[in-house]
Amino acid sequence: MKTLSRALVVPLLLLLGACGDEPAPTPAATGSVPPVASVPPSASGAPVGDPAARAAEVVARLSDEDLAGQVLMPYAYGSSATAVDPDNAKANQGLAGVDTPAEMITKYRLGGLILVGFTVDDPTSTTNPTTNVENPKQVRELTTGLQQAAAGLPATAPLMIGMDQEYGVVTRVADGVTMLPSAMAFGAARKPALTEAAWHAAGEELAAMGITVDFAPVADTLNTGGGGVIGSRSFGSDARVNAGQVAAAVRGLQSAGVAATLKHFPGHGHTTADSHSELPLIGQSRGAWETQDLPPFRSGIEAGAGLVMSGHLNLASVDKGVPATFSHKIMTEVLRGQLKFTGVAVTDAMNMAPAKKWPAGEAAVRALNAGNDMLLMPPDIGAARDGILAGLKTGSLKRERLTEAVTRILTLKFTTALTPQPDLAVVGSAAHQKAVAAADAAAVTILRGRCAGPLTTGPVSVTAPASREVARTNLIKALQAAGVPVQTSGGTVIHLAGYGDERVDLDDRAAITVMMDSPGLLAAATSPTLIATYSSSRLSMEALAAVIAGKAAAPGRSPIAVGKLPRTACAA
């Protein structure tokens, strides 16, 4: 496979620190890009294999303005780094007083940029007012331009380019990539080796597009019934099982050279409110929280996750009434002290309601003082930067705290920057499709109905709400390929439901009802056969078709309780 060192995208990177020791190969990493054999030492002679030493060297010569810029990770308008249309230029002027994303990087000496995508049915859409990702080729061209802009900054460090590519309902780039199922599908499959292999494939594709940080996996543990706002973004309701899944996802991503992010610390799964609009309460006792929420974060940290994202959450048993993002007790005493995390702590979006309780500058200082290192999506970039600089002058923000944050950020950048960048041809490759298809097949769960042989005979008709037309079409094609006759109407009805659907969206005529998201709605379905795929991707529909046709078993087990239904109707 043709490879391109990320250092060639940013020529100055060859003078920076290199990756640390390469991890031992895992089955999931088979076929991964080999590490760089040798890299010239830094100008000061700092050890090539010691990113932390290189980071300390750079931090020592940066100005206050450089340091303040390195902790900022906003979004920008426009699908190109340097050429945007008048509407996007106007939006960037309002956001940052510049026309293009590249100019934003230069003006504020940014340490990072998050790529965003808006879709109506995305639960995180309120913090993504625009879309600057379209397809892998466009994203690679955009990230290359962004890195070229960052190369001219005094820090001479690569840009941290992040994206919320969780898959499932939160997916930024869908066109042309290998679509993983939701986290809950991996929880249903209960096979960490499959999880690691699938996330390694995802990591290679993200790396090929120039993404250095994925804001995934979600480490939140749901309550038993899967209630709350996180849903299928979580692996499930069993903290111990989730811990193994989170660690596997971290290993998979990072073996491909993309830093993984555990979110939303200290845990969004036992909450009912949405932190985009209000401050959710984590109401468990300290002991219950440590048992029910902490294990996946702990395992992810032990697996080497590069980042942990702080949630705007009220952990009453530790620091009542204070959003975790702004809590020193949570972000420093618990995360650093109790869990021994040494990587980058990044805030959840600072343009969410609980973080906007204070002006942007004050919020930036409060988040840094709590223990965060990177500030994601500040609502006013200039005000956030100016607040940091003012804090340094008044002493409300100690320079030692800021340099500590930047040192961690640069260490992470230097650790990932020289991993060879895969050729764009890996995106959607047959090997990746095969790895992910195995996880999809292992996830299919029958909660009611028979488990052997074809699940229906004769022709079938596939129905679904209008918003599920892509999944319906993919299932029809997959059923036909599996030898199941499909007709427009009059056949045995197979009904699809998905994210956001309600009881009214079910079809009581259906012989088979399939839930392509968190399976709770199946508790209200009357069909004699109930199936969960936890995903509406093409590969999930192909796995479903194989089960319906009797060509494959349904080995999955629901990771959450679904009314009075069993977790699986099929013997394990």
Residues belonging to the active site: 276, 348
CA distance 132 to 360: 24
Residue 359, preceding peptide bond in cis (omega within 30° of 0):
no
Rounded to the nearest 10 degrees, what angle do helices 192-209 and 136-150 cross at? 60
Q: In this structure, what are the phi and psi dihedrals at residue 522, rounded to the nearest 5 degrees?
A: -65, -20
Question: At a CB cut-off of 8 Å and minimum separation 6, what does 499 contact?
Answer: 121, 169, 231, 232, 516, 517, 518, 536
Q: In this structure, what are the phi and psi dihedrals at residue 565, rounded to the nearest 5 degrees?
A: -70, 150
∠ CA(62), CA(158), CA(395), 5° rounding? 30
**Could you tell me the two tokens for 338?**
């109790």
End-to-end CA separation in angstroms for the chain: 39
**Segments of 93-179 assigned E as strands:** 112-115, 160-163
Question: At a CB cut-off of 8 Å and minimum separation 6, what does 332 contact?
Answer: 370, 371
Q: CA nearest 200: which of 160, 137, 135, 257?
A: 257
Please list, residue by residue across 434-452, b when 16 or more beta carbons sit within 10 angstroms of its beta carbon and e when fewer do.
ebbbbbbbbbbbbbbbeee
Q: What is the DSSP secondary-structure string of 437-466?
A: HHHHHHH-EEEES--SS-S--S-EEEE--G
